[in-house]
């Protein structure tokens, strides 16, 4: 199940920010954002977060495999408070006029290879298209072959390179690929 929350709601919800910071550390330990960075990003114009939860929702604002709106927020808040679910994957994204950007995406290591990133990408794509975006951007480490493959299967194409943008464990620099997907109505 994918739940999408607007950034203004999400950035005021400390328990959610803590869950996202934990997932960041689990999914991206070498480059994890902390609560403050996540909160700052979600507080920006057009920001949102999509999360995959490991639970079955109660009746509410369910549309297919995606919950949205106030009923989704209330259900997620209650379920997290009652420890009835876990957030196992997330995507922080932003739409500014005709351009959308994925800032962060990750899946808890225990949930890899289950199609969760694909589900997130599909939900984010639908959300940014509904917001009027014409293109979706992201950047990825050039040595992250699995992520590049996922993004290419989703229709992303490389459009530029940031040379030496990341640092590898051995201290060497790694390029960042900037990838773009055209949004079609």
Residue 123 sits in a domain of what CATH number?
3.40.630.30
Mean pLDDT for the stretch of residues 152-163: 96
How do residues 2-38 score in pLDDT, each as one tens digit?
889 889 888 888 888 988 999 999 888 888 999 999 9
The answer to whether residues 174 and 114 belong to one domain is no
Total number of domains constituting the chain: 2
Q: Which tokens in the block code for residue 174?
A: 């790694």
Query: Is 139 noted as a catalytic residue in this protein?
Result: yes
Residue with tokens 């509410």: 60
What gap in Å lies between CA 159 and CA 145, rounded to an integer?
Answer: 17
Considering the candidates 151, 163, 165, 166, report the single residue annotated as catalytic. 151
Considering the candidates 111, 139, 157, 166, report the single residue annotated as catalytic. 139
The answer to whether residues 140 and 183 belong to one domain is yes
How do residues 41-68 score in pLDDT, each as one tens digit?
999 999 999 998 876 444 443 344 555 5
Q: Which tokens in the block code for residue 180?
A: 């773009």
Query: Is 24 noted as a catalytic residue in this protein?
Result: no
Residue with tokens 């959610």: 16
The answer to whether residues 127 and 170 belong to one domain is no
Burial 118-127 (b: 16+ CB within 10 A, else e): ebbbbbbbbb
Asked whether the beta carbons of 121 and 106 are under 8 A apart, the reply is no
Q: Residue 167's domain spans which residues?
A: 136-185
The answer to whether residues 123 and 68 belong to one domain is yes
């Amino acid at each position: 199940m994918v739940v999408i929350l607007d950034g203004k709601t999400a950035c005021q919800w400390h328990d959610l920010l803590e869950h996202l910071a934990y997932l960041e550390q689990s999914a991206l330990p070498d480059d994890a954002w902390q609560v403050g960075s996540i909160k700052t990003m979600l507080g920006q114009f057009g920001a949102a977060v999509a999360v995959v939860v490991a639970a079955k929702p109660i009746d509410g604002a369910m549309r297919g495999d995606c919950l949205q709106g106030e009923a989704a927020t209330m259900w997620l808040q209650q379920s997290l408070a009652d420890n009835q679910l876990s957030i196992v994957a997330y995507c922080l994204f932003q739409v500014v006029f005709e351009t959308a950007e994925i800032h962060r995406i990750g899946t808890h290591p225990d949930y890899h290879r289950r199609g969760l990133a694909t589900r997130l990408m599909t939900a984010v794509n639908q959300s940014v298209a509904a917001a009027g975006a014409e293109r979706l951007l992201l950047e990825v480490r050039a040595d992250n072959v699995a992520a590049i493959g996922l993004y290419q299967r989703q229709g992303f194409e490389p459009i530029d390179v940031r040379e030496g943008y990341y640092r590898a464990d051995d201290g060497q620099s790694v390029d960042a690929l900037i990838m773009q997907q055209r949004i079609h109505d």
